[in-house]
Amino acid sequence: MLVTGGAGYIGSHAAKALSRAGHRVVVYDNLVAGHRGAVKYGEFVQGDILDPSMLRSTMQKHGVDAVMHFAAFLDVGESVREPVKYYRNNVIGIVNVLDAMAALKIGTLVFSSTCATYGEPTETPITESHPQRPINSYGESKLVAERAFPHYERAYGIHAIALRYFNAAGADPEGELGEDHSPEIHVIPRALDAATGGEGLKVFGDDYPTPDGTCLRDYIHVTDLADAHVRAVDLIARTGKSGAYNLGTGTPQSVKDVIAAVERVTGRKVPWTLPPRRPGDPAVLYASADKARAEHGWSPAYPSLDDIVRTAWTWHQAHPHGYHG
C-alpha cells in the first residue's frame, strides 16, 4: 500500500490503521508539511508526487498494488491567495499518481477529498448528492480529481473511492501520533494552544444565523477517518466498487461548543477575541454519513467532542512543540 502524504496528520494515522489491519505500508512524502517522526508504521521514502519518475519507480520497486493519496495542500485561505500552488500540487499531483497507477496496472485508489467540494451548502446535513460547487481553489482542486476518476476507471480499470472528510480532529488514542501543522489552521489545536498560554483564539464572527452566532462544523476523529480508509480498500477488493462518501459524525458543533469542550477537558480558560467574519466561511457545514455507514459498515468510535478534544489534549501535553519536542 503506497500512502502518499503518510508523514502528515491524517496519513500517519491511516498508515497505523493499515499496518494494524495487516497491510504492508510504504509512506511517500516530501516532508513539505509532514514529519519524519510521524512515520511510525511502514517504510519511508522521501519523494515528491510532482516527480513522476520517482513516484513510478517507488511503486514498481515496492510491488505496490493499492494507493492512498493524502499528499496535498489544504489551507483554504492560502488557496484563494495562491491558486497556482493548489493547481500544481493537488491537481498535477493526482494526475501523476493516476498516470503511474495506469502504467503499472494498479487498480485501487483511496483519495482524500473534502466537504470543501460542496461550496456553500444549499441544505444540511450535506449528502453525497448535494451539488458540488466549490468556492475556492482548494475545493476545486479536489473536485477536479474526483471528476477524473470515472474516466480513469473506464480507460485503465482504476477503482477509486473518494472520502470527503469534514473537520478532521483529535489524535491517536494511544498517544503515538497527533496533529502538528505549521502554521496551525485548525480550531481545536489552536484552542489548546490558547489554553496553555499561546496566542489567544480568534473566533471569526458571532453574528451567523446559528444558535450561538458562531459557525457550526462537523468534527470527526482522525482515527475514525483512518478506519474508514481501511474499509474503503476492503470494499474495493470485495466489490470493485468506486464511489464517494462523506465522513463526519453528523452532529454540528459551534466554535463556542469547541471552546467549552476545551475548557472542560483541560480545566483551563481559553482566551479568545472576536475579529469579523472571514469571507467564504459558510455558517453551517455538517455531514450525513449514512452512505458510509450503510456501505462500509463504518461508524465513528469517537463521536463525542469531549473525547476528540481529550485525545488532542493528551497529545498536546506530551508534545507541546509537536514532533519536534
Ligand X SMILES: NC(=O)c1ccc[n+]([C@@H]2O[C@H](COP(=O)([O-])OP(=O)(O)OC[C@H]3O[C@@H](n4cnc5c(N)ncnc54)[C@H](O)[C@@H]3O)[C@@H](O)[C@H]2O)c1
Provide the binding-site residues for ligand X, judged by CB under 6 A.
Answer: 4-5, 7-11, 29-34, 48-50, 70-72, 74, 89, 93, 112, 114, 165, 167-168, 181
Q: How far apart are CA 223 and CA 312, in angstroms?
A: 12
Query: 309 to each of 249, 266, 281, how far by Cα in Å?
Result: 14, 9, 22
> Min. distance of Cβ 49 from ligand X in angstroms?
4
Which CB atom, from 176 or from 213, has the smaller least distance to ligand X?
Answer: 176
Query: 22 to each of 15, 16, 17, 180, how far by Cα in Å?
Result: 11, 10, 9, 27
Residue in this structure with the C-alpha cell 444558535, named with its chain if needed: 211
> Min. distance of Cβ 139 from ligand X in angstroms?
10
Q: How many CB atoms lie within 10 A of CB 276?
A: 9
**Considering 28, 86, 118, 138, which one is annotated as catalytic?**
138
Q: How far apart are CA 254 and CA 212, in angstroms?
A: 8
Which CB atom, from 145 or from 211, has the smaller least distance to ligand X?
Answer: 145
Which CB atom, from 92 or from 104, has the smaller least distance to ligand X?
Answer: 92
- DSSP tag of 170: -
> Min. distance of Cβ 73 from ligand X in angstroms?
6
| Residue 138: active-site member | yes
Give me the amino acid identity at 220.
Answer: I
Q: How far apart are CA 229 and CA 111, in angstroms?
A: 9
Residue in this structure with the C-alpha cell 497527533, named with its chain if needed: 178
> Min. distance of Cβ 181 from ligand X in angstroms?
6
Q: Quick check: 322 and 178 in contact, CB under 8 A?
A: yes
Which CB atom, from 46 or from 240, has the smaller least distance to ligand X?
Answer: 46
* Residues with catalytic function: 138
